[in-house]
Amino acid sequence: MGADIHIRIIKRDHDTDTWKQIKLYRKEKKKFKVIDPYPFRNSELFDILNEREDDNYQAYPISLAHLPIALKKEIEKYQETQGYYDFKEINLADLKLYLRQVPKVRNWDYDDDHPKAWKDNPVKYFIERIESYIDFTEENWAIPSSDIRILYWFDN
């Protein structure tokens, strides 16, 4: 069984003390469509983000209080839809701190004494994907990691 990971990225706007969604668009025919920041399935990443694998990883329930109205409505719609679950958020700084603490994870394909028994934590590639997405959308990538929040949820 697989589960899709749905991602939204927001940043703090210090001028207005609000949060704004970071979006990247592509043009399809005559319409612009938002590009999904993470259009993949990854069972190892799912287990970490879902807090099944690692006690060191800590996310929090999504706080709708300061979200842009359109994003708030989108998340509320998903929360009311059967099959969507575990609506959580983590800021990018905390995600990077987690990766520093847990850079490697167990590779269950090998015995403990095998040289490939440990591999890079899949959160590493998740962070790289998010930072690349932000790089394409932001003119100045001087946003502190603590001012970027990753909101996510799952469906089956």
pLDDT score of 14 = 84
Q: pLDDT per residue over 6-34, tens digit each? A: 999 999 988 888 899 999 999 998 999 99
SS3 state at 40: coil
pLDDT at residue 59 above 60? yes
Region 80-90 average pLDDT: 94
pLDDT at residue 1 above 50? no
Of 91, 64, 94, nearest to 78 by C-alpha is 64
pLDDT score of 141 = 63
Of 131, 102, 144, 135, nearest to 7 by C-alpha is 131
pLDDT score of 108 = 78
Rounded Cα distance between 97 and 42, Å, is: 21
pTM of the model: 0.89
Q: Where are the beta strands (DSSP E) in the chain?
A: 4-13, 18-22, 25-28, 31-34, 60-61, 84-91, 104-106, 118-120, 148-155
HSE-CB of 96 using CA atoms within 13 angstroms = 13
Alpha helices in 6-122 (DSSP H): 43-49, 69-79, 92-101
Based on the structure, what is the number of domains in the chain?
1
11 Cβ contact partners less than 8 Å away, ≥ 6 residues apart:
19, 20, 22, 143, 147, 148, 149
Which range among 52-56, 72-76, 95-99, 115-119 shows the weakest confidence by mean pLDDT?
A: 52-56
pLDDT at residue 41 above 60? yes
pLDDT score of 17 = 84
Handedness of CA 70, 59, 92, 136 (dihedral sign): negative
pLDDT at residue 2 above 60? no
Q: pLDDT per residue over 99-151, tens digit each? A: 999 999 888 788 778 888 889 999 999 999 999 999 888 665 677 888 999 99
SS3 state at 21: strand
Domain region containing 88 = 4-155
